[in-house]
Amino acid sequence: MRDILPQLTDWLNEGKPVATATVVSTWGSSPRQPGAKLAVTPPHAMIGSVSGGCVEGTVIDEAVASLNDYMPRLLHFGVADEAAWEVGLACGGEIDIYVEPLDSALAEALTQRTADETTYAVVTVVSGGALGTKVVVDAAGLAYAVGNPDALDLLTFAALTALHSGQTERTTTHDYDIFIEVIQPRPRLIVIGGAHVAQPLTKMAQMLGFRVSLIDPRSAFASTERFSHISDIHHTYPDKALETLGLDAHSYVVVLSHDPKIDDPALRLALPSPAPYIGILSSRKTHAKRVERLTAAGIPAEQLARIHTPIGLDIGAVTPEEIAVGIMAEIIAVRRGKSFR
């Protein structure tokens, strides 16, 4: 939702009707996962995807129909259905897609939380008598509700529980068939050092949806001329900048400065943090000396073992652009729970 919401908001501000389609469950080899979205505004505009192209045509037709009757609907496609062959889902698998009109109050609630990089949960009844009942809940409580009043308390409780688990899923609560979607803040890439590799790396991270911050006390390295695409540049030492930025489970740290006066303070602050990835551009020999310094400074071995170096997946990279690909590939692997270490 974070990826397509700005366009949806623009459409609504222009007075255009908008319908959304959300993958709520899959089986087998479905190409998209629960939470994947497509949005439509007639006659010909769309954004997003729910199947990589397999069922989009039928889903778009149903989305337009939902705008005509203002009724949500749950669609099912599977290899046993004749419709599956007609829409191109003949490669195997099944998929349920929930289609609904988007109202401006819901869009406003989602837009505000997206802009604030807030974690929030959206819980929707996707079938049955309370079809279409929906709540949006964040850490502060209920932000939006519509539909059957009898179901709202149960949905709110389910949303609050999901905020702690972080789990997007389709489930049942008190006979309500619900889809719970947890929307996390965008991941953030924090780059220490405005080295040459940092230029393609930060651009690539932005293309992949990361927020990007650059830290380097050497203003010539982290200049606005070299990094005009970055709005968050800190010309200070990383221990001060990282305290200001904060490091959480959505922060990915890449150290590129090659200067112990800059690298070591960054690592001393980053290693004990919840940041899931800390990588440093370094040779093994240089890193061995770094480990000696940090050990002497009191950093425990289990924290030092968190450092990814040589940084990035080994793809035989030579150019700064290729090195950036390897770094982002490793970060994505960590983010998605894959390990190559």
pLDDT one-digit tens code per residue, 114-144:
888 889 999 999 999 899 999 999 999 999 9
The pLDDT assigned to 7 comes to 93
Specify the amino acid at residue 337.
Answer: G
Cα 255 to Cα 281: distance, rounded to the nearest angstrom: 6
Domain ranges of the chain: 1-102, 105-185, 188-335
What number does CATH give the domain 188-335? 3.40.50.720
- Phi, psi at residue 299, to the nearest 5°? -75, 125
Please compute the mean of the pLDDT values over residues 275-302 and round it to a whole number: 95
pLDDT tops 70 at residue 270: yes
Model pTM score: 0.83
3-state secondary structure of 37: strand
Please check whether residue 306 is in contact with residue 278, taking contact to mean a CB–CB distance below 8 angstroms.
yes
pLDDT tops 80 at residue 88: no
Provide the β-strand partners of residue 41. 45
The pLDDT assigned to 32 comes to 73
pLDDT one-digit tens code per residue, 173-202:
999 999 999 999 999 999 999 999 999 999
CA 162 to chain centre: 16
Do you find a cis peptide bond into 217, omega within 30 degrees of 0? no
pLDDT tops 70 at residue 29: no
pLDDT classification of 26: cutoffs 50, 70, 90: confident
Q: pLDDT over 90 for what percent of the chain?
A: 83
Residue 278 is encoded by which pair of tokens?
Answer: 């800390």
The pLDDT assigned to 53 comes to 67
pLDDT one-digit tens code per residue, 38-51:
999 998 899 998 87
pLDDT tops 70 at residue 80: no
Q: pLDDT over 70 for what percent of the chain?
A: 94
Residue 77 is encoded by which pair of tokens?
Answer: 């496609």
Residue 18 is encoded by which pair of tokens?
Answer: 């908008």
The pLDDT assigned to 77 comes to 86
Please compute the mean of the pLDDT values over residues 18-32 and round it to a whole number: 84
| Residue 96 CB-density burial (10 A; 0-12 exposed, 13-18 middle, 19+ buried) | buried
